[in-house]
């Protein structure tokens, strides 16, 4: 038997760890798409130069150089936890005025099993915890939108 409070705390700690992993992945985006200049202490977007076809005033096809930030070329979908769902059957009991639980066998208590105790009535409950994440960073979305706007401004009509 485990104290119910400790079970919920363990699940909460697992969710915190998963959220930290998600946050670390968003930080990796900065390293993947930006270079850090130690002298200026600023980040600069990694770019590539593309020869983009354009027509000149005479209607002749020519090319123009376009600086394309890499962050605009790759869909940024940080790893996120869409939903964490934990469902189990629990045998519940009261021990010294504290709720304690143990994992219940999935079959009825009259059958023998590793968790069953013969001739002892159990109170069973189903526990379902659903943890959904917050939306990912609005700042990152705005940053990408800004670079996409700059990219669009370089492309001739």
71-85, 87-101, 112-126, 128-142: range with highest mean pLDDT: 87-101
Q: Where are the domains of the chain?
A: 2-154
Q: Give 14-35 pLDDT, tens digit per residue.
A: 878 877 776 777 678 888 999 9
Helix (H, G, I), strand (E, B) or coil at 111: coil
* Angle subtended at Cα 47 by Cα 154 and Cα 139, rounded to the nearest 5 degrees: 85
Q: Contact 31/43 with Cβ under 8 angstroms?
A: no
pLDDT at residue 138, as a whole number: 82
Helix H or strand E encompassing 129: strand 123-131
CA dist., res. 27 & res. 43, Å (int) = 13
Return the residue matching tokens 């998600």: 22
Residue 119 pLDDT grade (very low, low, confident, very high; cuts 50, 70, 90): very low
Residue of 107, 96, 29, 38 whose CA lies nearest to 69: 29
pTM given for the model: 0.52
Cβ-based burial of 7 (10 A; exposed 0-12, middle 13-18, buried ≥19): buried
* Phi then psi dihedrals of residue 32, to 5 deg: -75, -35
Q: Contact 42/121 with Cβ under 8 angstroms?
A: no
The beta strand positions in 28-122, using DSSP E, are 34-37, 42-45, 47-55, 61-69, 84-95, 98-103
Higher pLDDT among residues 49 and 3, named by residue? 49
CA dist., res. 48 & res. 68, Å (int) = 5
Q: Contact 149/60 with Cβ under 8 angstroms?
A: no
């Amino acid at each position: 038997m485990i104290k119910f409070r400790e079970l919920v705390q363990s699940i909460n700690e697992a969710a915190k760890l998963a959220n930290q992993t998600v946050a670390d992945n968003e930080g990796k985006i900065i390293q993947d798409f930006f270079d850090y200049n130690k002298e200026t202490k600023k980040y600069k977007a990694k770019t590539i130069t593309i020869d983009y076809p354009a027509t000149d005033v005479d209607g002749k096809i020519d090319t123009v150089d376009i600086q394309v930030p890499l962050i605009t070329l790759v869909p940024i979908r940080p790893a996120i936890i869409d939903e964490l769902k934990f469902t189990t059957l629990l045998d519940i009991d009261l021990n010294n005025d504290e709720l304690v639980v143990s994992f219940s066998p999935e079959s009825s208590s009259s059958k023998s099993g590793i968790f069953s105790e013969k001739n002892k009535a159990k109170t069973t409950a189903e526990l379902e915890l659903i943890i959904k994440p917050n939306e990912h960073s609005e700042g990152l979305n705005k940053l990408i939108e800004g670079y996409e706007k700059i990219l669009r401004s370089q492309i001739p009509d």
